[in-house]
Amino acid sequence: MNNMPLAYGLAMILFAVGLYGVVCKKNAVKIIISLLIMENAVNLFILLIGYRKDGIAPVMVKGQEASEFASMAVDPLAQAIVITSIVIGLSIVALMIAIAIRLYDRYKTFDTSKMKDLKG
């Protein structure tokens, strides 16, 4: 478990990279990619919370003691959360891409700084 703080830190750095991209990039596609990086950083972080060194997959086989199983398996709840959040993230990204394509139809560009019909 010695490397865990390092792994948490790396997930946080990935999160910060994504945030930088969303805030600073002007291209709609790059913004979408940055948001995906942020989402995946969080997914990674959740998986790390449930991680256990040399743990087994959380599937109980016949004849296994419940207490023994609990002491060996990684946390299944974290994995369930990640699956749900991937599905939600997918729906958001699909909608974003759809809107970005429609925006391209109207403006003939992905550059968000050129979309200035709304002020402020």
Partner 1 sequence: MNILPLFILIPIGAAFALSTFDILKQERKKVLVSNITAAAACLALTVLAVMQIGKTGTFEMGGWSIPIGISLVLDGFSAPVLVITGLVSLMCAVFSFSYMDMYSGREKFFSLFLLMVAGMNGLVLTSDIFNLYVFMELAAVSSFALVAYGTMKEELEAAFKYLVLSGVGTVFILMGIALTYGHTRNLSMVFIYNALSSGSAGSGMYLAAGFFMVGFGIKAALIPFHAWLPDAHPAAPAPVSAMLSGVLIKTAGIYAMVRVLFLLFAADLSVASMLLRTLGVLSLMIGVLLALGQWDFKRLLAYHSVSQMGYIALAFGIGTPLGIAAGLFHLLNHSVFKSLLFLNAGAVFYRTSTRDLRDMGGLNAVMPVTGYTSMIASLSIAGLPPFNGFWSKLLIIIAAIQAGYLWLGLWAVLGSILTLASFAKVQRYAFVGEIKDKFKEIKEVPLPMAFSMIFLAVLCVLMGILLVPGIRAVVLDGAAEVLLNPSNYIRIATGGMP
Phi and psi angles of residue 27, each rounded to the nearest 5 degrees, phi first: -85, 130
For CA atoms 56, 59, 61, 66, the dihedral sign is positive
DSSP state of 114: G
Q: Give me the residues that bind partner 1 (CB under 8 A), please.
A: 15, 18-19, 22, 28, 31, 35, 38-39, 42, 45-46, 49, 77-78, 81, 84-85, 88, 91-92, 95-96, 99-100, 102-103, 106-107, 112, 115, 117-118, 120
Q: Which is nearer to partner 1, 58 or 85 (CB)?
A: 85
CB of 117 to partner 1, least distance (A): 5
**Which bin fits 9, alpha (ψ -120 to 50), beta or left (φ > 0)?**
alpha
Phi and psi angles of residue 111, each rounded to the nearest 5 degrees, phi first: -75, 115
CB of 14 to partner 1, least distance (A): 11
Q: Which is nearer to partner 1, 56 or 88 (CB)?
A: 88
Q: Which is nearer to partner 1, 57 or 88 (CB)?
A: 88
Q: Which is nearer to partner 1, 29 or 57 (CB)?
A: 29
Cα–Cα distances (Å) from 90 to 21, 51, 95, 99, in that order, read 19, 24, 9, 14
